[in-house]
Structure 1
Amino acid sequence: MIDKLKNFDTQLFFCINEKHNAFFDVVMYWASHKWFWLPLYLTLAIFLVKLYGKASIYILLAIGMVITLSDQISSSVIKQWVQRPRPSHEPDLLPYIHLSKAGPGGMYGFVSSHAANVAALTIFLILLLPPRYKLLKVAIVSWALLVCYSRIYNGVHYPLDIIGGILVGIFSGFTVAIFAKRTFIKKEY
């Protein structure tokens, strides 16, 4: 059963990874680059400060908590426990993988920290933001999906690495959002 699952995961990886071109090579490289998204993060921070006023300090701290939680669970716990090599570190697969200019990444890929972190932030913001911000929520989900897809496209994660990371992110985002709503977000804005 495990071998069939790994085989399916590898086939799905190649199905996504082999469909590349010069335009999307650039797009997906930058979609995975953490500093590229800094303007988005700053814009979100400014928006949250305007929306929540004084309470925004707690919300920004909660965002720090949610990212730290998802990153530590994915990188320091699960990756070290499972130790599944990334496809880019599998000698038998390497000749067939299309890698971005970012390179092969660290040794282990399960679960994807990129996927965990963007999913955690996405879930946190979806649960935090008032219902009237539906379009913003759709944009945030689209951003998260782009980042997750780029990890497979760039050759550094299997699809199950991404799914595992998303699950870690959902857990982290949901946990911190519930804590935040019960602790310091008292009213609907």
Structure 2
Amino acid sequence: MIESIIDKDIELLIFLNNLGTTQWDGFWLIVTNKFSAIPLYLLLLYFAFKNYGLKKTVIIVLFIALLIAASDQTSNLFKYGFKRLRPCHDESLQHLVRLVKSRCGGLYSYFSAHASNSFAVATFFSFLLKDKVKYLSYILIIWAFFVAYSRIYIGVHFPLDVLTGAVIGTIYAIVCFKLFKLFERKFIA
């Protein structure tokens, strides 16, 4: 059963990755670059400050830092626990996958920290600002999907890596948001 899932995952990676073209490579490299999201993060901070004030925004930043740390470290724990090679490090796949950037990243792939972190941020801020900024939730979820897909496009993650990352990031964000609301009620009022 697991072998069948892994085989389908490889097939889907090869199909999706090979849809890419050199004309789109630059776009997906920008999407996948963690620093390209800085303007979005600054905008989210602005919205948080505008709607919650300085004190709550500082608390929000602390919760986001905790959320990203948990998401990122869980990804590392899984990577070194499962030890599934990235497609770009798997010799049996290297000739089948388009590697868009010169550096492939770490050795292991399961699960994608990029997908987990982007879905964590998108979900947390979607809950936080859903009644404050119209359409923001939709934009954030689309952004998270783009970041997650970019990992497949550039050839460094399998679809299952991305899907698992998205699910775990979303779950962590829901838990973290509930903890934030609890903290807010008890200590910030």
Give the structure-2-normalised TM-score.
Answer: 0.93
Aligned to 2:65: 64
Task: Note if contact 1:29-1:102 (Cα within 8 Å) is conserved in structure 2.
Answer: no
Count residues with an aligned counterpart. 185
Aligned to 2:94: 94
Task: Note if contact 2:78-2:110 (Cα within 8 Å) is conserved in structure 1.
Answer: yes
Aligned to 1:13: 13
Of structures 1 and 2, the one with the larger relative CO (CA 8 A, separation 6+) is: 1
Q: Which amino acid aligns with 1:30?
A: I
> How far apart, CA to CA, are the structure 1 residues paired with 2:34 and 2:152?
16
For structure 2, the residue ranges without an aligned partner over 5 or more in a row are none
Moved runs in structure 1, 4+ residues, more than 3 A? none
Q: How far did 1:45 drift? A: 1.0
Aligned to 2:137: 137
Task: Note if contact 1:55-1:185 (Cα within 8 Å) is conserved in structure 2.
Answer: no
- Could you say what the CA RMSD is over the residues aligned between the two structures, in angstroms? 1.4
Task: Note if contact 2:129-2:136 (Cα within 8 Å) is conserved in structure 1.
Answer: no
Distance 1:132 1:43, change over 3 A: closer
Q: How far did 1:23 drift? A: 2.5
Q: Over residues 17-74 of structure 1, what are the superposed CA-to-partner deviations in whole Å (9 max), with x where a residue is unaligned?
A: 0011123101111111011111111121122111110311111111111111111111
Q: How far did 1:185 drift? A: 5.7
> How far apart, CA to CA, are the structure 2 residues paired with 1:7 and 1:61?
40
> How far apart, CA to CA, are the structure 1 residues paired with 2:102 and 2:176?
31
Q: How far did 1:79 drift? A: 1.0
Task: Note if contact 1:85-1:107 (Cα within 8 Å) is conserved in structure 2.
Answer: yes
Aligned to 2:149: 149
> How far apart, CA to CA, are the structure 2 residues paired with 1:58 and 1:29?
32
Which is further off, 7-16 or 52-61?
52-61
